[in-house]
Structure 1
Amino acid sequence: MKKYNNFINISLLALFTVFFIACQDEDQTFGEILAPTNIVVVPEIAGQDSANPNGDGSGMVTFTATADNALSYKYSFGAAQQNAPSGVTTFTFSDLGVNTYTVVVVAYGVGGVSTSTTIEVDVLATYSPPADLLATLVGDGSKTWRIKSEQNAHFGLGPVGGTVQAEWYQAGPEEKSATGMYDDRYIFNADGTFTHITNSTNDDPTVDVTGTVFGRDPLINELGPHNETPNGADIENYPYQDYSESWVITAPGGIETINLTGLGFIGYYTGGNHKYELFQRTEQPPNELVLRTTDGNNEFDWWFIITSEEEGASNDFQSIYNNLVWQDEFDVNGAPDPEKWTYDLGTGDNGWGNQELQTYTNNPENIIIEDGMLKITAKANGSGYTSARIKTEGLYEFTYGRIEARAKLPATAGTWPAMWMLGADYITNPWPACGEIDYMEHVGNDLNTIHGTLHYPGMSAGNADGNSTTVDTATSEFHDYSVEWTPDVIKILVDGEVYHTVINSDSLPFNSNFFLILNMAIGGTFGGDVDPAFTEETLEIEYIRVYQ
């Protein structure tokens, strides 16, 4: 492994330096080069007690080695090897049942001289990873993974133990392109070895093991000395060669976890226990995983989205919901169907909470179905504006599904059309605790920028959990706006392309009934200044459908 080779190289350089200086000044004296002695290795099997002498079935063992005159240690677990400068390391044994394992421990002293010892441990392992997970990670033997750099929140951080993906910081698409992270590739081999290629672009026509990586200062110093100047708390483009470690899947507390041996890591070096929890593993897409790991300072949880699709590959979205359960095709002229829709009327409290300028009505001049589509029209009305807002509250409320709407958006400055959903318990559980899912918002002051946003406690209003994408013909052509809402994940899309993803969990308010809302606001905190020449503008919606 590379890290051991680096140690040998450093040791040989140190010996050469000692020899050279000795030749220059024979009066110099040095201490004795002593081989380590009295090696003691103590294994601590997770969950071991009188009732469980071989542990709790996790297969996890923490080893602590000590020796006189030792500077560093190395463990050998058969094919897997781990360097342990402090003598402490953790390894997970995965063979099912109780098995006896032979562990070799090498203690290194001054000048690289070494002494070794061997111990045996009896360890119980009861967890067997599901076949579909192994197939996802390994594939046909040539599957490689990468950081999904083109997606928002592909890298980020949050509080330790947090359940909101990258709650405190989310890297935007390609934001870290100059750090040495995006050209890395990761291979989970079927034989249990983990290969980290540190530069996937320099192996043509022959393999070149050199590359660079990205990590946290000073934790990345665990990889060895370097000369890179920190950029804030980051070390970018740290020179590092391809290497191999081992990987195994466990499920402590029922959470599927990738365990890497030694100093193996994914994406950004954070030290710690080198365990990556599979925070999201859904059927679609099968080539994408969301990982979470805690850094060695126990300061942050770090989040990564990895994919096995290469950049530029097709990434067609596949919904898990395909049964049409509710729809309005807007094919009957007149007012909206009263069995499906009701109205919000008036100016609301403080302009519907956003200092909006419009008064909502149910007048045909503001809302009507004609020509096979719903038309919501905002009009200038003397010193004010009128518009419309309809909702399915009390008529159709549901939990989870795929919601699709096809629409053409207004273009005038000050317009603010939205297609969204609100938690049905908002009266007894006031916003943002009830939750809000905005799967299409657009403002005329920022033409063709489509916003997808979730509001919930800690992430609401100007600090909401959202992203945006550009649709060049949003105001001149019809496009599909949709959201895939599952117990595990919420994905917001335009024309079948995902541009924002939020991990759902029991701690978020997105696991109970919501209802649909369609409206067009004027001005307000998001709509901004209204064009002084504004007379009227129309939001046209061809249909809205719910699949479960």
Structure 2
Amino acid sequence: MKNTLKNLTGFLMLLLFATGCQDDDSTFGNVTTPSNLDLSYEIVGANQANPNGDGSGMVVLKAHADNAMTYKFIYPDATSDTKPAGLMNKRFTTNGVNSYVVTVVAYGTGGSAVTGTITVVDLLSLFDDPETTRILTNNGTKTWYWSAAEQNHLGVGPNDAADTEHNFWPYWYGAGPFEKAGGTSSCMYNAKFTFSLDGNQIRFTQDNGGATFFNKAFASIAGGNGSEDICLAYNTTGQKTVLLSPAESVVAPEHSTGTQMTFTDGGFMGYYIGASTYEILEISENRMVVRAVQGNDPATAWYHIFTTQDPNAPTAPVFTNLVWADEFNTDGAPDATKWSFELGGGGWGNQEQQVYTNQNATVSDGTLKITAKKENDGTYTSSRLITHNKKDFTYGMVEIKAKLPSGAGTWPALWMLGSNYVENPWPGCGEIDIMESVGRAPDVISSTLHYPGHSGGGGDSTSKNVAGISTDFHIYTLVWTVDSLKFYVRDNETDPLPAPYKIFTNPGTPFTSNFFLIFNVAMGGTLGGAIDPGFTQSAMEVDYVRLYQ
């Protein structure tokens, strides 16, 4: 049980005044104004060693008045909660030690009321998530939409602490791409969710186009009969405040960001399930997965996936905002904040001959150099760099300026793998080969998609002849949208983007979820083929990699 310390100074700060009718109104019966309003609070986790609490920012607010029917707690950010019993568990999330003035209104019969204030003094909150704040709001204003083209953009599963295999994803049901575009759910994809940064507060507005998609259990709120999930006219105007706090769910830490967001005054996102708190399972610059427990059913959790691309937009998005890059301008090891090494040998599923080390990749003279070498004992070493858990993303334009190694047996690749490859092994996780080449076929590049039913040699693939890929730098470009994956190559930045040499229609799952970058040079294997006995070493050089969204 958490220790609590009752702050008696709160009583000294109590200010009371009464409001109500001058005369009894027979319409309401006898009007009895509350009296003797007592306010107090307890800081959760406070003791002699930790007088400011346990860092959770949690406070138990208590209110009692004679003849009171209900109590309204009003906080400094103008948000509020109403509690008939006068007991409120409140989390304040401003980082550090802060004090908060809380106004309490005790309501009696006939609209009578008495009001008081109490100051919560020196409360410690250690929670701060500036990265989630930045991504939600773009440190200004940012609009999100339903990721209608993505499988499971609306889904449901169990909320069971014991069911660790199924309590973090829509195990029971997941909506297919644009499944809710017609019928009783036709309003759903019209919703726009805008987050704005106002000082240190996150504000939220929802434009539902006049109608909201209701879970049938809550349809009566908007005049429905509760027989089915349905779009109903509903007013969502008005600004809400978004409070970020530590996640409090049954989901294991490895499946969540650890942050939840709570919308004040009954705010919600999109599908009305009687919930205002959403745990953020995943978030990137243009994709967010959230989880919320149904308001009237604690055994049920709903999942929503949002994107920054309007599903009703008439044209394909134009990616011009540079959100991540590595220009490779600092000599030494690759930037550890952006890249991780994958190490070892064993063939890597393709009978490859090299062992990956952290010694074969270095940055010098403005380029990343990944060097495949033949060691003195006849074995081969190379390096493999990934951005997993440092830059994972969905959709955008990736540009990579690179010069490839040479020699029969070399197999350089600039590619991407689905971020959920652990729980959804290849090819289920998906693979996007932006550029692959093999030394035995000079001046030929290929681009390929691998996914279920299209793995190995059955991948959706194309090849293109490009002169001088091992002697000159070329810019390899992927433009990835909800509709398509387009591949380009050009000689330099001054050239306009040419027509794509291949356009793949986006097949949907898994190419609607997060991927990460991989740069490597393999040796031999099923695609690299026989290695030239005279091979000693050769490097792939990367001038830069840039991601636009």
Give the TM-score of the pair, scaled to structure 2: 0.50
- Aligned residue for 2:299? 299
Aligned in 2, Cα 1:231/1:171: closer, same or farther, shift over 3 Å? farther
Shift of 1:292: 1.9
SS at match of 1:137: helix
> SS at the partner of 1:276?
strand
Letter in 2 for 1:304: H
Amino acid at match of 1:244: Q
**Correspondence for 2:245 among 250, 267, 275:** 250
- Cα distance between partner residues in 1 of 2:119 and 2:188: 39
Aligned partners of 2:133 and 2:202 also within 8 Å = no
Match of 1:167 among 146, 168, 171: 171
In the TM superposition, what is the alpha-carbon distance from 1:219 to its structure 2 partner? 5.4
Counterparts of 1:48 and 1:170, CA distance in 2: 44
**Pair 1:260 & 2:258 matched:** no
Instruction: Write out aligned runs for 1:450-469 (5 A).
Output: 452-453=451-452
Which of 171, 190, 195 matches 2:204?
A: 195
Which SS does the other structure have where 1:135 is aligned? helix
Aligned to 1:360: none
Whether the 8 Å CA contact 1:96–1:128 is kept in 2: the answer is yes
1:171: Cα distance to partner? Answer: 1.7
Are the structure 2 counterparts of residues 263 and 433 from structure 1 closer, same or farther at C-alpha, using a change threshold of 3 Å?
A: closer
Maintained 8 Å contact 2:41/2:59: yes
* Aligned partner of residue 234 in structure 2, secondary structure: strand
1:278 corresponds to: 280
Contact 1:152 1:171 in 2 (8 A): yes
Q: Separation in 1 of the partners of 2:192 and 2:44?
A: 33
Distance 2:100 2:352 in 1: 71
Is the contact made by 2:154 and 2:302 (CA closer than 8 Å) also made in structure 1?
Answer: yes
Q: Provide closer, same or farther for how the CA distance between residues 46 and 493 of structure 1 changes in structure 2, counting only shifts above 3 A.
A: farther
In the other structure, the counterpart of 1:269 is 272
Alignment match, 2:427: 437
- Contact kept? 1:138, 1:190, Cα under 8 Å: no
- 2: distance between equivalents of 1:102 and 1:194? 21
1:56 Cα shift? 1.6
Structure 1 residue 495: Cα displacement: 4.8
- SS state at 2:79 partner: strand
Q: Does 1:63 align with 2:61?
A: yes
Give the equivalent residue in structure 2 for 1:113. 112
Query: Which residue of the partner structure matches residue 93 of structure 1?
Result: 92
Q: Does the CA contact (< 8 Å) of 1:220 and 1:271 recur in 2?
A: no
Amino acid paired to 2:158: P
Separation in 2, partners of 1:83, 1:264:
12
Matches of 1:176 and 1:292, distance apart in 2: 19
Which of residues 33, 36, 42 in structure 1 aligns to 2:34? 36
SS at match of 1:52: coil
| Helix, strand or coil at the partner of 1:437 | coil
Tell whether the 8 Å contact from 1:92 to 1:259 is kept in structure 2 after alignment. no
1:355 is aligned to none
CA contact (8 A) 1:93 1:123 kept: no
Distance verdict in 2 for CA 1:300–1:401, change over 3 Å: same
Match for residue 225 of structure 2?
Answer: 229
Q: Is the 8 A contact 2:71 2:107 kept in 1?
A: yes
CA RMSD in angstroms comes to 5.5
Deviations 1:310-360 (A, max 9, x none): 33352769999999999xxxxxxxxx98859xxxxxxxxxxxxxxxxxxxx
The count of residues paired between Structure 1 and Structure 2 equals: 357
From the superposition, tell whether residues 152 and 118 of structure 1 become closer, same or farther in structure 2 (CA, over 3 Å): same
Alignment of 1:4-403 (within 5 A): 31-86=29-84, 87-127=86-126, 129-139=128-138, 141-160=140-159, 164-177=168-181, 178=185, 180-182=187-189, 183-191=191-199, 192-199=201-208, 201=209, 211-218=210-217, 225-232=221-228, 234=229, 236-251=231-246, 255-272=258-275, 274-282=276-284, 286-296=285-295, 297-311=297-311, 312=313, 314=317
CA contact (8 A) 1:106 1:114 kept: yes
Do 1:77 and 1:103's aligned partners in 2 also have CA atoms closer than 8 Å?
yes
Shift of 1:42: 4.9
Q: Which amino acid is 2:195 matched to?
A: I
Report the 3-state secondary structure (helix = DSSP H, G, I; strand = E; otherwise coil) of the residue aligned with 2:110. helix
* Matched letter for residue 78 of structure 1: P
The alignment's TM-score, normalised by the length of structure 1, stands at 0.50
SS at match of 1:309: coil
Distance 2:291 2:41 in 1: 27
- Counterparts of 1:503 and 1:44, CA distance in 2: 43
Aligned pair in 2 of structure 1 residues 401, 138: CA closer, same or farther (>3 Å)? closer
- 1:32: how far off? 0.9
Change in CA separation of 1:338 and 1:47 when aligned onto 2, cut-off 3 Å: closer
Compared with structure 1, are the counterparts of its residues 215 and 38 closer, same or farther at alpha carbon in structure 2 (3 Å cutoff)?
farther
Provide the C-alpha distance between the structure 2 equivalents of 1:94 and 1:129, rounded to a whole number of angstroms: 8
DSSP-derived class of the 1:281 partner: strand
Q: What is the rounded CA distance, in whole Å, between the counterparts of 1:452 and 1:337 in structure 2?
A: 20
Check whether the contact 1:59–1:123 (CA below 8 A) recurs between aligned residues.
Answer: no
C-alpha deviation, 1:77, in angstroms: 0.8
User: Aligned partners of 1:237 and 1:281: how far apart in 2?
Assistant: 29
- Rounded Cα–Cα distance in structure 1 between residues aligned with 2:117 and 2:308: 39
- What are the residue-to-residue correspondences of 1:462-541 with 2, within 5 Å? 495=486, 497=506, 499-500=509-510, 501=512
Q: Is the Cα–Cα contact under 8 Å of residues 186 and 266 in structure 1 kept in the other structure? A: no
What is the DSSP-based 3-state SS (H/G/I as helix, E as strand, rest coil) of the residue aligned with 1:230? Answer: coil
User: Aligned equivalents of 1:306 and 1:401: distance in 2?
Assistant: 23
Secondary structure at the residue paired with 2:133?
Answer: helix
Structure 1's 338 and 113: CA in aligned 2 closer, same or farther, altered over 3 A? closer
Distance 2:55 2:126 in 1: 7
* Runs of at least 5 residues in structure 1 that lack an aligned partner in the other structure: 1-14, 20-29, 202-210, 327-335, 341-394, 403-420, 422-431, 441-449, 454-465, 468-472, 485-490, 505-516, 520-544
State the distance in 2 between where 1:174 and 1:43 align: 49
State the alpha-carbon separation in 1 of the partners of residues 177 and 424 from structure 2: 30
CA distance in 2, matches of 1:268, 1:290: 14
Task: Report the identity percentage.
Answer: 26
C-alpha offsets along residues 432-479 of structure 1, whole Å, 9 cap, x if unaligned?
Answer: 999453348xxxxxxxxx9945xxxxxxxxxxxx99xxxxx979999x
